[in-house]
Structure 1
Amino acid sequence: MTAPLAGPSLPVLGSRGMLTALREGDVDRVLEACTTPAAERWLETPVPYRRADAEAFVREFVPAGWRGEHDERVWAIRESLHGPLMGVLGLREGSVEVGFWLHPEGQGRGLMADAVRAAVGHADGCLTWPEVRWACYVGNTASMRVAKAAGFSYLGVREGLHRGVPEQQHHAVRPSSGEAPAEALPWPDLG
């Protein structure tokens, strides 16, 4: 096991896994996850995604956030403390938003909804955010399922930008009170 880089000193525990610091040894898993067709379609990562991008993410971007050099704190999602990277989850303070992705090996097992619940619950106890927001591009049903399972209230579709091109986005929010906001709508059918 490689040593963790700058990040949280203690894991945040969920019922299916935990949130930890990223490690140097996670570079290959980040590269694998961010070069899938789904990642190229839905994430705001470079296309094509190269090894240098994964190295910069793990070695520079993530530690810089934990040092306070930008407003995003990123955790690794693992099933056990010494287990492989299954995904990442970030909380962005400026936009009060959660973002996430899973490695293909971790998909379809409830890991992400558990990780989002753990991170948002942790944020409720550590931050003064009145709510946490989430958004995804229209068509990203997997991300919508996670937000719904993690207790977010659906707010509808709004215009957004994806790689500089206008594209509609689904939006949801999870107030720290746990109560659905007045403007909440029924979740669309997620088949």
Structure 2
Amino acid sequence: MSGQAQNVDVLEGQPVLGRALGDDAELRPLEPWQAAEFAGYVNRTRDALKPWIPWAYTIVDEASARAFLQSYADRQAADTGRIFGLYVSGVMQGGVLYRVFNTAQGVCEIGVWLAPEVRGRGLISRACRVLIDWAVDARGMTRVEWQCDPRNASSIAAARRLGLTHEGTHRKAFYLNGEHRDVQVWAIVA
């Protein structure tokens, strides 16, 4: 185990591994058994997520949340992706993930989402710093990417705070809610 502290907590009788982020915040792996909690989070924050996150449209109940989390459990087993919840005072308030994790190429992509009521506390920056450091230091990634809609000012600000460089914009590269959207690509290299 690395020198980074791991906390062991109990949630509904099940052990949970997590990483303290300070200010009563914690980063925890999300797994299919947490589908009801994840579906509840999506339902509670759907309006804030829908402008930017495709799964805000498709996760509508516990079954769809379980399928989504199972897809990430399968990705984790294949070493091609991972998903984590951001908890504040024990309540899920957002999350981060490796949407892409390609060890052969040494490239991964981080995605994020956060409930409006906890924005502005540095949670995304702290959680992403953990993901970036682990990807580069523990797994040898040479490139960590961040992609976002150019209209998502919060995502762009987070990328800048993390020290990522805007490398370009793919025009009309992403389809969401009946609209072809541009996608900015940000990255940091080891």
The one-character-per-residue Cα deviations of 1:22-65 (angstroms, maximum 9, x if unpaired) are: 262522113323x21x311211225264113223324x223222
Secondary structure of the corresponding residue to residue 86 of structure 1: strand
Amino-acid identity (%)? 22
Secondary structure of the corresponding residue to residue 101 of structure 1: strand
Return the structure number with greater strand share. 2
* CA shift in 2, pair 1:3/1:106, >3 Å: farther
2:79 aligned with 1:79: no
Q: Which runs of 5+ in 2 are unaligned?
A: 1-10
Q: Which runs of 5+ in 1 are unaligned?
A: 177-191
* CA shift in 2, pair 1:39/1:114, >3 Å: same
* Structure-2-length-normalised TM-score: 0.75
* CA shift in 2, pair 1:53/1:108, >3 Å: farther
Partner of 1:112: 124
Query: Deviation at 1:15?
Result: 4.5
- Check the 8 A contact 2:101/2:109 in 1, yes or no: yes
CA distance in 2, matches of 1:117, 1:15: 13
Q: 2:43 aligns with which of 12, 24, 31?
A: 31
Q: 1:141 aligns with which of 150, 153, 156?
A: 153
CA distance in 2, matches of 1:57, 1:4: 21
Q: How many aligned residue pairs are there?
A: 167
- Check the 8 A contact 1:14/1:118 in 2, yes or no: no
Partner of 2:67: 56
The one-character-per-residue Cα deviations of 1:58-106 (angstroms, maximum 9, x if unpaired) are: 4x223222322x72111111236xx111211111214621111112332
How large is the RMSD of aligned CA atoms in angstroms?
A: 2.6
CA distance in 2, matches of 1:120, 1:151: 11
